[in-house]
Amino acid sequence: MARHTNDYKLWQHDPAAPKKAERIVIAKVRPEATAPRRASASALSASARAVRSAGVSPDSPLTRLLENGRVASITPVFDVGSGDGRQPASMLSGAARAGRSARRTESARLVEIRVSRDTSPAQLAAHLARMNDVEYAFVPPVRKLFGRRARASVDPLASRLWGHGAIRLGHARAARGFKNATGMTVAVVDSGIDSRHPDLKGVIAEYKNFLRESKKDFVGHGTHVAGIIAATAGNGLGISGVCGGKILALKALPRDEDEFDAPAYYRALRYVIGRAQVLNLSLGGEKDPAEIDVLRDVIDAGVVVIAAMGNEFEEGNPTEYPAAMREVCAVGATDELDKRAGFSNTGRHIDLMAPGVGILSTTPTFRYDGDGEREYDAWDGTSMATPHVAAAAALLLAKSPGMTPAQVIKKLTSSADRVAGAKKGSASYGAGRLNCQKLLR
């Protein structure tokens, strides 16, 4: 069905007002719709100029939506030509460069459509999806974080860093030729980071806030994830991270899930291109075609993307994205006995497991999440497993800089320990539990 329709039954009022995060529609316009076919700029109406600035032809039916008031604005998600899409050529290996295709610009065709108050976003998306000029259109699903404070923790330091032992990090570090990931940058798209934490000082390469709220990490989640990857080792304080690399801290997840801002999230993902070698996504949600396009661009640019399986095994075990993308490394959580944590989602798309129960890491030094334990605390989640693997990927790239994302993921899985009888294709354990000693051998 690609015919334009004027059936205004589409525009019936929704009984339930959509949440703030649901007031926009994301659409991908077809390339042929982006070239204006007539009229100079001065001859165009204000609406036509607005859609043209979004990279859409003024001839497009999208212009009519602006003119009849169904749509408040149409803007490109990415400011093409700005730093957002800068070329990462200097960071790419030959193989990664050769693998780059026309697909690289797919995400440049995404537009954000702000819906007028009396229009139903879901109905508008369905209407747009039927237009010839539009490849897809949808109300973006929210992205939620996959880690939570272990509420009962009374003595967090007692739990220590058992995860480092489980992934054989000490053995890996003791091996001849071991190289810390000091030249590597791991991007953390998350709730922000407490950049003043004494164990994260000097670790953050760049901090960018994509939201309109304060840059502070009010959730604590991003601060916890960052500490697992790169808390300073040997400074006489708290804990140490797995890889000794730098963090590209990108705040794109709000304090309140209802405030989720999909375009801001996409911008944060694409910002990673040319700035980091690994992207940690301790988050997920329902399938989102724009996220898939943006992440394919990121991966085509040579970035290894590691994502959490999700913590809802006991609540129906849903398939979470972006972990379910084939090109993304999907990580589940194990406990100290190398058993799958009860909350850790399963599925055919799982790549491997890493420690994710009672993981001690950095937390904000200020008040966060109501009454969160300050400075250090032990948390549970596939969110905590994922950064163990992201940091291991950075160690592997420090040793072998030319590897492509696909090669890195293959090596992570082929070197994993087949705990609990894990074998290739296991929906519970994937290839098994991360083993840094075998990974870096």
Q: Applying CB under 5 A, which residues contact Ca ion?
A: 199, 232, 235, 237-238
**Cβ partners under 8 Å of residue 151, min gap 6:** none
Output the smallest distance, CB 199 to Ca ion, in A.
4
For Ca ion, which is the closer residue by CB, 88 or 244?
Answer: 244
Q: Which is nearer to Ca ion, 238 or 364 (CB)?
A: 238
Please say which residue, 177 or 236, places its beta carbon nearer to Ca ion: 236
- Active-site pick, 195, 383, 415, 426: 383
Least Cβ distance, residue 235 to Ca ion (angstroms) = 5
Closest contact distance (angstroms) between CB of 156 and Ca ion is 14
Query: Which is it for the CA torsion 297, 299, 303, 304, positive or negative?
Result: positive
Structure tokens, 77:
């998600």
Helix (H, G, I), strand (E, B) or coil at 284: strand
Q: Given the complex with Ca ion, which of 186 and 323 has the nearer CB atom?
A: 186
Helices (H), 177-280: 221-230, 262-271
190 counts as catalytic: yes
**Which residue, 19 or 160, is less far from Ca ion as judged by CB?**
160
Active-site hit among 164, 221, 349, 388: 221
CA–CA distance, 165 with 393 (Å, rounded to integer)? 17
Taking the C-alpha atoms of residue 418 and residue 432, their distance in angstroms, rounded to an integer, is 4
Closer residue to Ca ion (CB): 237 or 406: 237
Long-range CB contacts for residues 82-91, cutoff 8 Å, separation at least 24: 84/267, 84/270, 84/271, 85/270, 85/273, 86/273, 86/274, 87/274, 88/273, 88/274, 88/275, 88/301, 88/302, 90/274, 91/274, 91/277, 91/302
Q: How far is the CB of 234 from Ca ion (least distance, A)?
A: 7
User: 3-state DSSP call for residue 278?
Assistant: strand
| Least CB distance to Ca ion at residue 95 (A) | 36
Which position among 190, 297, 377, 417 bears the catalytic label?
A: 190
Are the CB atoms for 319 and 298 separated by under 8 Å? no
Q: Is 383 tagged catalytic? A: yes
Provide the minimum distance between the beta carbon of 195 and Ca ion in the complex, in angstroms, as a whole number.
15
Least separation, in Å, of the C-beta of 285 and Ca ion? 33
Angle at CA of residue 10, ends 7 and 15, nearest 5°: 155
Beta-strand ranges (E) seen in 259-364 are: 278-281, 283-284, 304-308, 329-334, 352-355, 359-362
Q: Identify which of residues 94 and 234 has a Cβ nearer to Ca ion in the complex.
A: 234
**How many Å apart are CA 128 and CA 66, to the nearest integer?**
13
Tell me how crowded residue 179 is: count the other CB atoms within 10 A of its CB. Answer: 14
Catalytic residue IDs: 190, 221, 383
